[in-house]
Amino acid sequence: PRLQELGSHLLLTVHDELISEAPDDVTNDVREIKRELMGDSYRWGPIDLTYPVPIDPDGSIAKRWSEAK
């Protein structure tokens, strides 16, 4: 819901990559929300698990997927 409120739409998932589009003025906000959600993915739902390895996802912003790497 938070991403949808910003006008972001998920276009594609490739393994552990989430490719989405969003208006230019909210791209940094969308990137930070996605990093937060991917880093805390084990805390979704009613059970709070402790993951033994820290997850620190990165993110990039580009007009084309090939430029985001």
pTM beyond 0.85: the answer is: no
Supply angle C-alpha 45, 26, 43, rounded to 5.
Answer: 15
- Quick: pLDDT tens for 17-42: 889 999 999 999 999 999 988 887 66
User: HSE (CB half, 13 Å, CA atoms) of 60?
Assistant: 9
Contacts of 30 (CB under 8 A, 6+ apart): 3, 6, 8, 20, 22
**Can you give the pLDDT at residue 41?**
65
Rounded to the nearest 5°, which phi and psi values hold at 11?
Answer: -100, -40
Chain length of the chain = 69
Residue matched to tokens 């940094």: 28
